[in-house]
């Protein structure tokens, strides 16, 4: 039985990738659905604690920009970077420095 090829991190540091993987494990659903839950602020599925966890583990802006440039290489990325490409590319362009997570979500919902 061939071993599954382990994909190396290309943009994110190990700690950020691990924290995002833990965050993803709490959802157990496709990234597009997670993105939809975040954008719609679906409080039945997205608690304030999870929002704070996501915001706390956000990659730096330069990492987000680099991830956005890798969307054509999606299949070659590790899980946390794939999530970053799908989710952060559309969400964080709305991010304003110094904005709280609650304000961020409200701004996204009404934009």
- Predicted TM-score (pTM) of this structure: 0.69
Q: Return the percentage of the chain with pLDDT > 90, whole number.
A: 14
**Residue 12: which of 49, 50, 57 has the closest Cα?**
57
Tell me the CATH architecture of domain 14-110: Up-down Bundle (1.20)
Least confident range of 5-14, 68-77, 100-109: 100-109
Question: Can you give the residue ranges of every domain in the chain?
Answer: 14-110
SS (H, E, C) 1-23: CCCCCCCCCCCCCHHHHHHHHHH
Tell me the helix, strand and coil percentages in the chain, rounded to 5. Answer: 65, 0, 35
Contact 91, 41 (CB under 8 A): no
Q: Does residue 78 or residue 96 have the better pLDDT? A: 78
Cα–Cα distance measured from residue 110 to residue 29, given in angstroms and rounded to the nearest whole number? 24
What average pLDDT does this structure show over 74-88? 87
């Amino acid at each position: 039985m061939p071993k599954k090829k382990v994909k190396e991190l290309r943009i994110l540091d190990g700690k950020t990738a691990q924290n995002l993987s833990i965050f993803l494990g709490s959802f157990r659903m496709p990234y597009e659905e997670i993105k939809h839950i975040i954008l719609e602020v679906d409080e039945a599925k997205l608690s304030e604690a999870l929002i704070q966890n996501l915001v706390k583990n956000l990659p730096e802006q330069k990492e987000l920009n680099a991830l956005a440039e890798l969307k054509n290489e999606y299949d070659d990325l590790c899980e946390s970077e794939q999530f970053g490409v799908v989710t952060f590319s559309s969400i964080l362009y709305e991010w304003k420095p110094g904005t709280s997570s609650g304000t961020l979500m409200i701004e996204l919902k009404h934009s």
